[in-house]
Amino acid sequence: MAELKSPPSHPPTTVTVRRNPPRRARPTPSQAPIPISLLSTPSTSSKTVPSFPIDDILAIDVPKTELESENLKVFLRIRPQSIPQAPNKKGGVSKNVWPQSKQTVKSKIKKTIEVCLKENDEHSVTLCPPQSMQDQKRTKTEVYEGFSHVFSADSSQDDVFDKMVNPIVEDFIKGKSGMLAALGPSGSGKTHTIFGTARQPGMIPLALRRIFSATEEHGAQSSRTFYLSMFEICSERGRTERMIDLFNDGVDICLQQSTIKGLHESTICDVQQAEALIAQGMLKRATAMTNSNSQSSRSQCIINIRCETCGDVNASSNSALLTIVDLAGAEREKKTGNQGHRLLESNFINNTSMVFGLCLRSLLEHQKNRKKPMQKHFKNSLLTRYLRDYLEGKKRMALILTVKSGEEDYLDASFLLRQASPFMKIKFTNSEESTELIGNKRQYQPFLKADQQKKMKMSTIDSSAVDKFKSIMDRNFFGDSKTLITMKKVNEVDDTTFLAKSPETFKSKVGESTFVNDNINAATKNRLTQTMQGFAIAAWQVLKQYKGKLKVAEKEICCLKQSLTEEKARSEKLAMELAHIKSSFLCEKIVSTDKIETKKEVCRENGLDESAESDYQSVDTHEKSPVHIPFAIIFLIMAHVAGVSSVNLSESEVIVNNQNTDSTAMIILKPLYLTNWEGLYTFAENLEILESKNDSDQNVTDNLLLEDSANSVQPIVSISDDSSPLKMLDETTISTNVPEIAVKVLPSPKPPTADKPKRRLQPASSMLLKNLTGLDIGDEDEKPKGARGSKRNTGLDLTRKTQGSLSLLRLLKNNV
Ligand SMILES: Nc1ncnc2c1ncn2[C@@H]1O[C@H](COP(=O)(O)OP(=O)(O)OP(=O)(O)O)[C@@H](O)[C@H]1O
């Protein structure tokens, strides 16, 4: 061993370098027992980890309003029937652009104003088919209800604003994003509602007024910046879609993954400036004269008002977006009479409207049945791609449906109401907070463009600036809690932007940014609090879900435990039964052999035919059936026939008294013994044995044991004469002296003399034939009674008895 351990004296001639040395398996972490000090409850040690207060957390009442889902608000506005035609530039009333059929002209001339759409109350309307269409099968009066509000024809723009737009604007001022879209057939008043006129300003001017007035109210408390952008989506020769920035001389912009690249946002400082910008944009918007509308919109127009807040305590977000969409109205070719290029535009407009509707329908179906996936209809148009978050229910929106109530507009109104009224069942979850940042990031990528360009100059950045910033962050954010850098500054120096800044810029920015000791920025704090609240709510919900799951699992475990116990008990019972069956089976085997031997012995001793042995065997092997009354009756008859003078039949024993032989026998029987023909047969035979013993005038005490295979308790037939006391073998005697399941007649102390002729059994049961006249058992040996009967009575009786016994045995055998 010492030799082996000692290093080789000479270096080996070849050296094998093992490239992949064998890896050592990591030692399995030893599961050291947890120190008792840790397990023991409230430890004085300060290092003891307190248990997670899950119950306390779950007990917290989360304000439901935060999480409650909100239905999509659908408003309906009915356009007034008669609108004074606006004079055209030449001073006359505008004419139709396209030639109209004579019929249309006629109908317009004779037009009596028939109203199809009637306002029932603030939330429902009734649409009646015009008289000209009432004969048609598919037209019927329809009631549409559940609208957030129905604006009648005489409602003003202010009414609409107050009830519909003002809540959205208020939320916007508080920092929540929202969207309002106007839907409806061409000429129904969408553009009028959204933009209005100089006399009747629409929703956008009114919203801007409200926004700026609110800002003035807040005054110095907040510093907000508003941005305005306006663009349209139109078709290019009816083939492709095109996005045009309406503020930037109609420059093309593009949408990349819900982000509009190149969209110009104008900062707005007051209402006048904003209105002027919008008016400018409207001039650039694609409109055309159609038969439905003298100034029909040929594009989908989107206006965004964005608010960046800094220092507003009430604002929930530092950037909110208010989007207002004026969709081009769906058009009927027959009605508009569009041709050529206009017709292509019409197709585009109708297609976009249809996709918009399909998105909402898909969202509704998905909300009804969560298993149904949301179809990606939004991919089919630029507008829906841009508004994806709204159309997928991630952000709040409201719809205003505009309709005309005239006779000609019945079909348009019916179509719109049928399609859009179910949208009011759509639900929006107020998960805006979580999507806010993502949404803003997506939509305002253009603003980061400049920063991205700067990012290219990364190589010039001094790394010390980064370190400095980090140290500041550490100190302010994680070290001294009283000092916080404003979120705006954080945003400015985030991974993307910060790296783009040179050290000088950074220093200046840091210098500018106020590190406010003991004066925490309220907005930042508010935002952080809200973020944490959101996180806490989410965590709370997850915990709640898990608690629910845990409860279910615990219940299941309980059920399983219970069933396990039951199964165990059952299996034990079965095992016991099996053991019992096994033991009885073994016992039977032993006993049956003993029984045969015993029987043979008995037969030999009594000079009986050994063929009876087979009968005993059959008795044992056969199954006993329940006790039958007829057997009991036959048993009594047989006993009577056997000359039994008195019979005491109890549950398990029969005491018979034979007058003829002056013998008394107590037969202890299990009821089963008298349950079938076999039992009866055996009983009859035993009676024969009994009789033969009595006939031979032997002073014997015979004990006859019969086995009941179903029970271990042995039925005993104990026979004794008058002189000897009635004897019954007790169980101990049976178990010790006699084989359990044997039929045994104990030999008499005085064995029969050898010279005395053996007698055939003289069963008393043969008397049965004599006494039972009603029973036709067809005994061929029976002879009619004669006059000599009295003298030869004994011999004849004896013969008859024997014959009757045989007949009875035969009858019983046949039945067995
Ligand atoms: N509530 C209203 N009160 C007064 N005039 C209205 C009202 N609604 C619509 N109008 C007038 O009806 C005409 C058509 O309205 P508007 O252009 O808004 O329809 P539209 O739905 O935008 O049509 P399109 O989809 O073709 O652009 C306009 O002259 C407008 O001033």
pLDDT (0 to 100) of residue 690: 53
pLDDT digits 0-9 by tens, 435-472: 443 444 444 444 334 444 444 444 344 445 445 545 54
Q: Is the ipTM of this complex over 0.90?
A: yes
Residues with CB under 6 A from ligand 1: 79-80, 83, 184, 186-192, 293, 295-297, 328-329, 402
Instruction: Tally the residues of the chain.
Output: 816
Distance 192 CA to ligand 1 centre (A): 5
User: By alpha-carbon position, which residue is closest to atom 12 of ligand 1?
Assistant: 189
Which is more confident, 391 or 747?
A: 391
User: By alpha-carbon position, which residue is closest to atom 23 of ligand 1?
Assistant: 187
* Residue 351 falls inside a structural domain: yes
For the segment 361-389, the average pLDDT, to the nearest whole number, is 87
Stated pTM of the model: 0.48
Which is more confident, 607 or 498?
A: 607
Question: Is the pLDDT confidence value at 672 over 70?
Answer: no
pLDDT (0 to 100) of residue 554: 93
* Residue 135 falls inside a structural domain: no
Looking at the structure, do residues 593 and 501 belong to the same domain, yes or no? Answer: no
Distance 204 CA to ligand 1 centre (A): 15
Average pLDDT, the chain: 66
C-alpha distance from residue 649 to each of 428, 531, 624, 780 (Å): 88, 94, 20, 33
DSSP line for 586-604: HHHHHHHHHHHHHHHHHHH
CB atoms within 10 A of CB 449: 12
Distance 402 CA to ligand 1 centre (A): 9
* Residue 376 falls inside a structural domain: yes
Of 373, 401, 429, which residue sits at a domain end?
A: 401
Distance 87 CA to ligand 1 centre (A): 15
Beta-ladder partners of 250: none
Which H or E run contains 629?
helix 629-641
**Any idea which of 11-25, 200-214, 637-651, 728-742 has the lowest mean pLDDT?**
728-742
Q: Which atom of ligand 1 is least distant from the CA of 155?
A: 1
pLDDT (0 to 100) of residue 307: 87
pLDDT (0 to 100) of residue 687: 57
- For residue 456, the Cα-to-chain-centroid distance in whole angstroms is 53
The binding site for ATP consists of 184-191
Looking at the structure, do residues 336 and 481 belong to the same domain, yes or no? Answer: no
Query: pLDDT confidence of 54, banded at 50, 70, 90?
Result: low
Of 520, 541, 576, which residue sits at a domain end?
A: 520
> Which domain, by its residues, includes 676?
584-751+758-815
Question: Is the pLDDT confidence value at 109 over 80?
Answer: no
Spatial contact of 383 and 231, defined as CB atoms under 8 Å apart: no
**81, 83, 194, 282: which to mutate for ligand 1, most atoms within 8 A of CB?**
83
Which is more confident, 312 or 131?
A: 131
Q: Which of 206-215, 341-350, 521-530, 609-618 is most confident?
A: 206-215
pLDDT digits 0-9 by tens, 114-163: 788 888 998 999 988 887 777 666 678 889 989 999 999 989 999 999 99
User: By alpha-carbon position, which residue is closest to atom 1 of ligand 1?
Assistant: 79
pLDDT (0 to 100) of residue 203: 93
Distance 151 CA to ligand 1 centre (A): 15
Query: pLDDT confidence of 49, banded at 50, 70, 90?
Result: low
Q: Which atom of ligand 1 is least distant from the CA of 188?
A: 21
Q: Which atom of ligand 1 is least distant from the CA of 292?
A: 26
Looking at the structure, do residues 503 and 372 belong to the same domain, yes or no? Answer: no
Of 495, 520, 545, which residue sits at a domain end?
A: 520
DSSP line for 366-411: HHH-TTSPPP-GGGG-HHHHHTHHHHTTSS-EEEEEEEE-BSTTHH
Q: Which atom of ligand 1 is least distant from the CA of 328?
A: 25
E strand intervals along 610-715: 644-649, 653-658, 663-668, 701-705
Question: Is the pLDDT confidence value at 737 over 80?
Answer: no
Distance 85 CA to ligand 1 centre (A): 11
For the segment 328-343, the average pLDDT, to the nearest whole number, is 75
Spatial distance between the Cα atoms of 367 and 581, rounded to a whole number of angstroms: 64
Q: Which atom of ligand 1 is least distant from the CA of 402?
A: 21
C-alpha distance from residue 493 to each of 124, 286, 349, 417, 484 (Å): 53, 42, 44, 51, 14
For the segment 802-809, the average pLDDT, to the nearest whole number, is 61
* Residue 738 falls inside a structural domain: yes
User: By alpha-carbon position, which residue is closest to atom 6 of ligand 1?
Assistant: 189
User: By alpha-carbon position, which residue is closest to atom 30 of ligand 1?
Assistant: 192
Looking at the structure, do residues 453 and 388 belong to the same domain, yes or no? Answer: no
Picking from 675, 671, 656, 791, the residue whose alpha carbon sits closest to that of residue 726 is 656
Structurally, the chain folds into a number of domains equal to 3
Distance 262 CA to ligand 1 centre (A): 31
Percent of the chain surpassing pLDDT 90 = 14
* Residue 514 falls inside a structural domain: yes
Question: Is the pLDDT confidence value at 211 over 70?
Answer: yes
The binding site consists of 184-191
Looking at the structure, do residues 472 and 335 belong to the same domain, yes or no? Answer: no
3-class secondary-structure state, position 630? helix
Which is more confident, 542 or 491?
A: 542
Secondary structure letter of residue 196 according to DSSP = B
Distance 379 CA to ligand 1 centre (A): 30
**76, 77, 79, 200: which to mutate for ligand 1, most atoms within 8 A of CB?**
79
Picking from 263, 257, 286, the residue whose alpha carbon sits closest to that of residue 349 is 286
CATH number at residue 260: 3.40.850.10
For the segment 391-418, the average pLDDT, to the nearest whole number, is 88
Query: pLDDT confidence of 522, banded at 50, 70, 90?
Result: confident
Question: Is the pLDDT confidence value at 552 over 70?
Answer: yes
* Residue 495 falls inside a structural domain: yes
Query: pLDDT confidence of 48, banded at 50, 70, 90?
Result: low
For the segment 643-671, the average pLDDT, to the nearest whole number, is 51
Buried b (16+ CB within 10 A) or exposed e, 636-663: ebbbbbbbbeeeebeeebbbbbbeebeb
* Residue 706 falls inside a structural domain: yes
Spatial distance between the Cα atoms of 86 and 65, rounded to a whole number of angstroms: 48
**Any idea which of 262-276, 620-634, 788-802 has the lowest mean pLDDT?**
788-802
